[in-house]
Amino acid sequence: MISVDLARQLLATGVLWQPRPGDRFVIDKEALTGDVFWVSDLTIELHHWGDKSVLGFNGTTEWALDSVDLDQALWLPREDQLRELLGDRLDTLRRGGDGWTVRLIDGSETTDADVESAYARALLAAVTP
């Protein structure tokens, strides 16, 4: 799983989140980033009220939250979501002694011990001017 810091970097470059079941997120407040949540039709659902989107906690979770504004939630994209965001820019993924290396079609490469983090770093490289 990518780190909160790496997720913040993705957000800062304009990578946007459209929540759907199965997505992971943290509440981006100092004391809360250690708890990872998953969007689910059973426990945490996306609700729209007017022009505002919130993640509703349906009472079956440990937390006593009713809802949290979407802009307080920080998306932790999965490997498949990061590949989708890379799209046609992705060339190859290979495993080596230093971990996972993602190569983009422009020839740039990023390496990380965690495969999701390697994809996230490649995405950062692709979207950062």
* Better pLDDT: 46 or 111: 111
Q: What integer is the mean pLDDT of 20-37? A: 89
Q: Does residue 117 surpass a pLDDT of 80?
A: yes
User: Structure tokens of 128?
Assistant: 């950062």
Q: Summarize pLDDT for 61-90 with one digit per residue, the tens.
A: 555 556 678 888 999 999 999 999 999 999
Task: Tell me the C-alpha distance between 89 and 123, whole Å.
Answer: 9
- Lowest average pLDDT, out of 47-51, 69-73, 108-112, 122-126, goes to 47-51
pLDDT band at 39 (very low <50, low <70, confident <90, very high): confident
- Lowest average pLDDT, out of 42-51, 68-77, 86-95, goes to 42-51
pLDDT band at 59 (very low <50, low <70, confident <90, very high): low
Three-state SS string over 22-73 comes to CCEEEECCCCCCCCCEECECCCEEEEEECCEEEEEECCCCCCCCCEEEHHHE
